[in-house]
Chain A
Amino acid sequence: MQNNLKALTVLFFLLLFFALIVGCSDNGTSSEETEQETELKDPSEVGYPESLTYWAELNGNAAQTAQTLNDVRAYQVMEETTGTTIEFKHPSGEGTDITEQFNLMLASGKLPDMIEYNWRTVPKGPDNAIEDGTIIRLNEIIEDYAPNLNQYLNENPEVKKTVTTDEGNIYTFPFIRGDEKLMVFMGMIIRQDWLDTLDLDTPTTIAEWEEVLKAFKTGDPNGNGEQDEVPLLVQPDDFKNIGPFVGAYGIHAQFYNDNGTVKYGSIQPEFKEFLTTMNRWYEEGLLDADFAAMDGKLVDAKVTNDQLGSLFGYTGGGIGRFTGLMEDHPTFELSATPHPALEEGGIAATAQKAFPHEGYHSVAISGQAENPEEIAKWLDFAYSEEGHMLFNFGVEGESYEMIDGYPTYTEEITNNPDGLPMSNALGKYIRANYGGPMIQDVRYVEQYLDLPAQKEAIEIWEETAENNINMPPITMNSDESDEFNSIMSDLDTYYDETVIRFIMGDEPLDNFDEFVATLEGMGINRAIELQQAALDRYMAR
């Protein structure tokens, strides 16, 4: 009997023990404490971080195939190489939505390790962001932990000038266009087949344009028997910010650098001339009646509906894209036209030409990042030889092959089996086609623009504008920027509305002086002063 009891007791405790083990096995939580690093680390000791958070806009080119940038091959390969996992945070929407969400993020005070944005144009400017502790000054960190970028900046002082604030702070890992050809990508595009159909020459002056547009309007170049052609489409923002047709009048619609003096184009008498022309074109139906109510989809619709005669657009997103969309069209052909000049043999004062660095797609390290040295090391990878190839051409064997020492995109990119346009196929692998913290390689654009018309376009657009009056990427200090923004926000609203009204004839051009007076009343001269100051400092860098 005692043996029985013993056996039962042992059994009981065995069961109890078993139950305890089962019960306890779930509770394996651990807490880790992290220490704040205050001293700069020895560069040789710094490795790649384990994980990072990265706020960045997900460009449409990538969004086609990727939920986050982690789906982009370049980042996947980078993760394999560095062992760093990135948690991407992408704002939704585009344009002002992103600005809004960016501001919201800053306001929330919870910042990721890296923030990709145009820090040059943030309210109060980048110096203030550093001062606030939102982001950190990178000069020393780049020097010590980003040898590749450091080397490039030292070898290209002009570029270094653009990534440095007036106070001498380097604030981002910049997106740099590595070649002149990469800086020109927008201009006037025309239906070459319509010109051919109507037996017209490529227009070079305002007058020639008017002739051609009128011919488009009346000549039924699309051959559908209806007068549904839309000869010209330029959106108001393009007039305002880049200046097609505006440049012909020797000015830029916004601030420009007239030999060291900042001027505001829209208050110049030349601007009235420009508006008069446009108003005439609008009235005559040459300029799209809905030019001020246009979105991408509508542009696409007008092109694909075989309605649009000419437009202001990109080499890639314009010539390339529409050629692709209309490849079933028997005659569809686009070509670039020279930037229009006022007089025969003249040259446009300004047109689209980017600076090697303008602030877009550049990454700042947040003030809340715990390991800036490691982050810097991770970011610097993109500026290394290996990273440069990765972000410009993707993965060798997948997206490109080295042919005679030239990184050539494979069919996967150029003739995607899934039917992706090249920009989207590139978006699947790299960032060179829209930008990122890297140096853009000219060999990308050479292949991207595979149509002869595209390659021609760059040259034509490059040659037919002086671009001397373009404002360099200046930076304003916090106070300046505050004041400037407060002036410009109201002013722009009024400006946008009024310019459209002038063109559409809702506002008689006789009222141009009132328009100028109103702008002055809203403080445009003070804005010019502020720009001047910034320009002076920039020149002095």
Chain B
Amino acid sequence: MSKWKRLNVRGTGNNVFSKLLVSYLIVLLLPVIIGLFLFNKIESIMVENANKSNTTMLMQVRDVLENKFEEIEQLSLQISLDEKLNRLLMNQQNVSNYDYINYMKELKRYNTISTHIDDYYIYFNQSDVLLSPTMKTDSYLFLKHIKRYENSTYEEVMNNRMTGFHLRDYFPSEKVIMSSGEENIITLTQSLPYGEVTDVKGVLMVHIYEQQFKEMLQQMEGLNKGAMYIADEKDEIMMSTSENKSIFAEISPLLADKEGFFTKEIDGKDMIVSYTMSEKNEWTYVSIVPTEFVLAKVNNVKSWALSLVLIAIIIGIVVSYYLANQNYRPIHEVVNTIIGKNTPKGTFTNEIDLIKQTIVSSMNEQSQLKRIISQQEPVIRSNFILRLLRGQVDVTSYLEKEIDSMGITFKFNYFSVITIQIDDCCQFTKENIDTKWVLTRFIIANLSEELMGDNGYTIEMERDKLIILYNHQNNSADETTNQLNLTRELMDILEQQFGIKISVAISQIHFGLNKISECYGESVMALDYRIIKGPNYIIFYNDIKNNSGYDYHYPVETEVQILNFAKNGDYENVERTLDQIFSNNVQKEMTPEISKCLSYDLLSTWVKLLSSLSGEEKKRVIEQHNPFKTVPECSTVQELQKEIKSLYYDYCLKMEAKQSTQGERLYQEIVDFIEDNFNDNMLSLGMIADHFGMNSSYLSSFFKKQGGIAISEFIMKVRIEESKKLLPNRRLTISEIAPQVGYANSVGLIRVFKKVEGVTPGQYRESMQA
């Protein structure tokens, strides 16, 4: 069922199944055609052979019969040349009866010579004596009572055969009546003496029984279904196995050659007529055998072969169908998978075409997707690396796969960070400064990526700063040297080819992803030494970490980090950062003075943090810790660190506690601020943001979230409410009220009032009085 459905769905004859089937059938057809061709050849050979063997058989019969005739003729010759006989012939009237009887014994001797001669007689003309090996009589008794020719009278026989000259004359088969019955007899006559033409004294007569020859002919296969004729040189039938002599008359004109065969329809039956002519006496031997009999074996073989071929074809077709179905099934399944239950769209010639088109389109889609992804990759990558550098990534939660998906592969687990500071940018263009920077960064990034290969990832950090995250095989001096060489090469190329001058800072090699931020810090710290070392120089953190101790490292970036962590109450990170700063600086073996400077630096950061606290709280915190007193009093660096840490700790504790109510408080502060300053004409979102040290857009959304209305609307509301308080006082004009509620002139107030209240301030005042 499903197969037919499939065929119907695909249209007629053009699907893969039918193609497979057809190809199998063609393969099947080849041997069948070859077989049929061969069979045809063989058949014609077989037919020819059958006909030939038929003719050959006829020729054998001819030879056998000829031998018999030959034998008979030999015998007749022997008898004819017998001396005693000739003596008798010469003196036939004078010899005694006994001499004839005596000669019978001689005659008897010939009896044993030929087994096919039944009767032979010698007739003596003058004495009218007829001798056979067993009797002596006269012609009358013989021809009347012993052997009577049915169709010839005594006189006719006497005149035609018993007298006159005969030389091996055969008289065609004739019916002869005897006391024992009737027989068809061929008569051979030979006048005596042999060779004597005129003075004929007798005759030798041999009777050949047709029956005997017929029996011999019966050996010829199929003759009992057909007939055989023997005709003499005058085309008279000498003997035949058939009573129907007219058939021969039909055939005789066709017997042109010495031998051959042809088919002829006789009495509605196809007959094969074979004939051969005797070389001896020009007799023609003709056999007529039904074609079907001659070709019976051939036809038998033919029907066998044809039925075998038919069976083979049927089996072949079944097998072809089976194989085609077997091989088509996977394609069918694939097609089903592709199109599902939907009717396929578009035009296609067959299933294979459908599959091809489907694959091509899905490949297109995939490559498009890939392109999109690859377009996004650098951004994602640099974003990720940036976060790695800043230590904002929880390394443990990242799986290698996810990293891979961003186009980042870390072959090894050792890292270092190279920071590139552009000292002098590209000289190519002079017009646009921004474009110049972009170009420069692009050149450096490309070049460095090219040089470092997979080991380095370059990201743009700032306008004049690039960072290379370098992946190391191990933590060895070779690696460092290698890295240095690469960096030098980079610098050389940049300077010589592009005229770009850079400073490079290289961190130490650290193990593990989580140490990348440390690397970054190191490189940034090293870069700080640019001020000391000058531009266009490679600075190793290794070189600067053991410096003389007159400086310390506390960059602005780190301070921002601390501020951010602290404001969020994230002490853990604050402490980590602090530890880093301490360890960095302690390793440098700071001098105490420098250490104090760092302490104040850190303290001032802390004080900056306090600005987020209310005045009272600020005061209380300062009083509680009294840092300005305790910090300078610290005698050791450890003490100092502890003190500073505790300051941050308390702050973070406070911030954490405040975290929940902080939003509300901030909102209240903003509201209070607005209510205090609504009469200030300059009051705006920007001013408030400045006042609270917040991003204006953040503030806007924060306020809307907390208060439900936009901050500008809130300001407007406060001013309208205030104006409403002032409006009943008729002594004040609208123009006088407007500045008092923060509007530059009356027009602004009126427009806003009308918008909010639906009426003008004048109208509002009228309504209040009424």
A interface with B by C-beta (< 8 Å): 1, 3-4, 7-8, 11, 289-290, 292-295, 297-298, 300-302, 304-305, 307, 325, 497, 500-501, 504, 506
Contacts and interface: CB of A to CB of B under 8 A. Distances in A.
A4 B132 CA distance: 87
Given A293-B100, A297-B180, A298-B146, 7 more contacts: A290-B101, A293-B104, A295-B134, A300-B146, A301-B179, A305-B144, A497-B102
A293 B136 contact: yes
- Majority secondary structure of chain B interface residues (helix, strand, loop or mixed): helix
B101 A500 contact: yes
Contacts of A301: 137, 141-142, 144-146, 179
Range of interface residues on chain B? 20 to 34
Interface string B96-112: 11101110100000000
A289, A292, A301, A307: which has the most chain B beta carbons within 10 Å?
A301
Nearest to A300: B179
A307, A325, A506: which has the most chain B beta carbons within 10 Å?
A506
Contacts of B294: none
Given A3-B326, A4-B326, A290-B135, A305 B97 contact: no
A300 B178 CA distance: 10
Interface string B140-152: 0110111000000
A304 B145 CA distance: 7
Given A8-B319, A304-B179, A504-B97, A294 B135 contact: yes
User: Nearest 6 A-B pairs (CB), nearest first?
Assistant: A293-B136, A301-B145, A295-B134, A298-B135, A506-B98, A295-B135
A8 to B, nearest CB: 7
Contact of A289 (B97, B134, B319): B97
Nearest to A236: B101
B323 interface: yes
Contacts of A11: 315, 319
Interface of B: 96-98, 100-102, 104, 131-132, 134-137, 141-142, 144-146, 178-180, 315, 319, 322-323, 326
Nearest to B311: A15
A504 B136 CA distance: 14
B119 to A, nearest CB: 10
B141 A302 contact: yes
Contacts of B315: 11
Contact of A295 (B98, B100, B132, B144): B132
A138 B573 CA distance: 144
B96 A506 contact: yes
A301 B142 CA distance: 8
A4 B135 contact: no
B305 to A, nearest CB: 14
A295 B135 CA distance: 6
A527 B127 CA distance: 42
Nearest to A305: B145
Given A301-B142, A301-B179, A293 B101 contact: yes
A305 B143 CA distance: 12
A388 B581 CA distance: 154
Given A293-B104, A298-B135, A4 B323 contact: yes
B145 A501 contact: no
A506 B101 CA distance: 12
11 contacts: A7-B322, A290-B101, A292-B98, A294-B135, A295-B135, A298-B137, A300-B145, A301-B145, A301-B179, A500-B101, A506-B96
B145 A504 contact: no
Contacts of A294: 134-135
B652 to A, nearest CB: 74
Nearest to A100: B112
Contacts of A295: 132, 134-135
Nearest to A303: B145
A501 B96 CA distance: 11
Contacts of A293: 100-101, 104, 131, 134-137
A504 B135 contact: no
Contacts of A292: 98, 101
A514 B102 CA distance: 21
